[in-house]
Amino acid sequence: MPVKSAYEGLKRFLKGEKEEVDIAKIRLARKPTWPTPPPSPRLPPPPQSVVVEAPCHDGRPCFAVWAYTDKDMRSPAGPDLSNIPLWVIRVYHTLPEAVYAYHVRDTAEKIYTLAHTRFDALDKAYLEHPKYRYRIEVIGLPLPEDTSDSERIERCMEHHRAEVAARRTTGSVFFIQTAVQGDYKHRIAIRRLDEDRLGEIYSGGNFLDVSFDPKAMVRPSDPEMSQYGSSRFATANVGRVFGTFRQSIRWFYDRYVDNGTIYGDMETWKLEAAKGK
């Protein structure tokens, strides 16, 4: 039955006239001819990772993870520690299960994967310039579930300050940089809740982004400036937020590492520690 007669038959059918109507042909005639949408771009898988135990001044579980390189692959004895990326994003894992080293290690790998799949596919600076490498460190600092955000922040800030001082004293290859941009010296992330999606929605996010300790040049102009600033972010936004952690990575490598300034500073810190300063 032609399409035109099918429509005429439908009209008669609606008027109560009994006549067989070929509905399939009517549907075929009315099928829209939308263009086929292009396939969604797929994010590349994260690079294979290296996971090693990192030093911690009070013996807490701490693991560093970074993207595997050819230099790591050529080392039969395991990861080459001289190949450790100097730029670091430090994450404090404060859930009760962070007391277990294996859980902290698993969390480090999960956060690494999450971060890479969220922003490395869009980060041309990283893809085109492999020297701008970074690592993620996850530190286990277990706290009771009912611990307030402010108390979590205070505990993590205190621990981070002590860790920076300890690594400078020993000249550790696991370097911790201070913030280049912004008004604060340090910046860390804190995992405050588990991955319960409903809980994350109502709480505003499983993670905290914390900047603290105002820089000396900022304090005189703003004597009432808070000791720290913080905000919550969701698990889905880990990559985006960690991307902002790396805003000064080019300056760090081009102006601080390449000209050797970092190594002079490290030697100075070791000498000062030896003198008891």
- Decide if pLDDT at 38 tops 90: no
- Decide if pLDDT at 44 tops 60: no
Summarize pLDDT for 233-245 with one digit per residue, the tens: 988 888 889 988 8
pLDDT at 104: 96
The C-alpha atoms of residue 97 and residue 120 are separated, in whole angstroms, by: 29
CB 65 within 8 A of CB 51: yes
Residue with tokens 């299960």: 97
Distances (CA, A) of 2 to 7, 120, 124, 235: 9, 56, 57, 56
pTM attached to this predicted model:
0.78
Residue 231 binned pLDDT confidence (cut-offs 50, 70, 90): very high
Q: What DSSP letter does each residue of 105-149 carry, written as one string?
A: HHHHHHHHHHHHHHHGGG-HHHHH-TTS-EEEEEEE----TT--H
The C-alpha atoms of residue 98 and residue 107 are separated, in whole angstroms, by: 9
Q: Output phi, psi for 181, to 5 deg.
A: -90, 165
Per-residue pLDDT, averaged over 68-74, amounts to: 68
Comparing C-alpha atoms, which of 144, 168, 171, 166 is closest to residue 155? 144
Which of 12-16, 126-130, 221-225 has the highest mean predicted lDDT (pLDDT)?
221-225
- If phi > 0 it is left, if psi is from -120 to 50 it is alpha, else beta; for residue 205 that is left
- Decide if pLDDT at 108 tops 60: yes
- Decide if pLDDT at 149 tops 90: yes
